[in-house]
Amino acid sequence: MLKIWGRTNSVNVKKALWAMEELGLKYQRIDAGMQFGVTKTPEYLKMNPNSLVPTIDDDGFVLWESHAIVRYLAAKRGAGSLWPTDPEARADADRWMDWTHSFAREFQRPVFWPLVRTPPEQRDLKAIAQACSKCAELLAIPNEVLKTRAYLGGTALTMGDLPLGCHVQLWMRLPIERPKQAGIEAWFKRLCERPAYRKIVDIPLS
Ligand SMILES: N[C@@H](CCC(=O)N[C@@H](CS)C(=O)NCC(=O)O)C(=O)O
């Protein structure tokens, strides 16, 4: 049985869970990380020496790094859907997974953490506003693509949408000023129409 360790409000755990749901996989999720602990136990560290979530165990094959997990599941179970079979189409989608690291670096710690996981009196609002501007500047890149494509990899959802789709849910749901970005907004709306996205990704911020 496919197992995944990770709390449901982790953006990186969401990427793996969303892939599993889109692929219709049966899995067992074990709470781990933050208030649940687990990640510092010798058993967990043996699986994932980073002491981070997510980690999966697929019938004895242990894997960590959320994007690697998404790629693995897509390659194994999603050929022709999450995993485009044409090498150029796959690279086109794949590039957005790597690009998402650039956005996450400017967004998770500088914007999400201060607004959601930091007491209001400790927030540096000027720094948050500056970080938001930088994030909007970065999102202008996929925004252009999404003006002419339904999904980042083309006409259908692929693995290329999963990492950024998880960060953009937080971006869209945070009480911040966002410039109008029609491509991103239409894509987010499209993602919200997917049952798997609503179940796993578009949950209240915490
Ligand atoms: N590059 C790793 C990063 C994993 C990561 O930073 N996970 C965070 C949650 S999003 C974590 O484990 N934080 C500590 C905790 O939850 O206890 C991945 O993509 O899987």
Q: Which amino acid is at 57?
A: D
Ligand 1 in contact with 55 (CB < 6 A)?
no
Q: Place 1 in a pLDDT band, splitting at 50, 70 and 90.
A: very high
* Mean pLDDT along residues 52-57: 98
For every residue of 123-137, DSSP letters joined together read --HHHHHHHHHHHHH
pLDDT at 153: 97
pLDDT at 43: 98
- Nearest Cα residue to atom 16 of ligand 1: 33
pLDDT at 159: 98
Q: How far is the CA of 22 from the centre of ligand 1 (A)?
A: 22
Q: How far is the CA of 31 from the centre of ligand 1 (A)?
A: 13
**Global confidence as pTM:** 0.98
In percent, how much of the chain has pLDDT > 90?
100
Q: Identify the three-state secondary structure at position 28.
A: strand
Q: And the tokens for 133?
A: 């501007």
* Mean pLDDT along residues 58-77: 98
pLDDT at 29: 98
pLDDT at 120: 96
What pLDDT, in 10s, does the model give residues 163-175?
999 999 999 999 9
What pLDDT, in 10s, does the model give residues 24-54?
999 999 999 999 999 999 999 999 999 999 9
* Mean pLDDT along residues 63-69: 98
User: Ligand 1: which of 5, 11, 12, 200 to mutate, judged by most atoms within 8 Å of the beta carbon?
Assistant: 12
Ligand 1 in contact with 10 (CB < 6 A)?
yes
HSE, CB side, 13 Å, CA atoms: give it for residue 131: 22
In percent, how much of the chain has pLDDT > 70?
100
* Mean pLDDT along residues 65-75: 98
Q: And the tokens for 129?
A: 């506003």
Ligand 1 in contact with 31 (CB < 6 A)?
no
Q: Identify the three-state secondary structure at position 64.
A: strand
Query: For the chain, what percentages of helix, strand and coil (3-state, to nearest 5) are there?
Result: 60, 10, 30
pLDDT at 25: 98
Q: Place 188 in a pLDDT band, splitting at 50, 70 and 90.
A: very high
pLDDT at 173: 98
Q: Which amino acid is at 174?
A: L
pLDDT at 99: 98
